[in-house]
């Protein structure tokens, strides 16, 4: 568990940075969707995917691991703050929907 409130502040900072990062990533993907669709229609995306398939799978595993770690730290933080019952699970589901 937490030894002092500095650990709580660090966890809050990590969770906030992760949420901001995810929001910025989805915002940039949304703004580039037209260009990505044009590349997909030309067949360029298929060639790129074939060349970097293993890298994409490795990065996907890394992103999934980081997302699970952030969700676990969020659970620990909410348990420390005595948020319990359905509120805890609803909050965790909302954070999982963001990531």
> What's the pLDDT score for residue 13?
79
Structure confidence at residue 10 as a pLDDT band (50, 70, 90): confident
Which residue range forms the structural domain that includes residue 32? 5-98
* 35 and 67 Cβ atoms separated by less than 8 Å: no
Structure confidence at residue 4 as a pLDDT band (50, 70, 90): low
Record the pTM: 0.54
DSSP3 helix / strand / coil % (the chain, rounded to 5): 85, 0, 15
Q: How many domains does the chain have?
A: 1
């Amino acid at each position: 568990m937490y030894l002092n409130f500095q650990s709580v502040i660090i966890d809050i900072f990590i969770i906030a940075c992760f949420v901001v990062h995810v929001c910025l990533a989805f915002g940039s993907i949304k703004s580039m969707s037209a260009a990505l669709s044009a590349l997909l229609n030309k067949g360029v995306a298929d060639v790129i995917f074939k060349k970097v398939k293993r890298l994409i799978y490795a990065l996907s595993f890394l992103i999934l691991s980081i997302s699970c770690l952030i969700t676990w730290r969020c659970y620990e933080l909410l348990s420390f703050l005595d948020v319990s019952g359905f509120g805890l699970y609803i909050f965790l589901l909302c954070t999982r929907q963001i990531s």
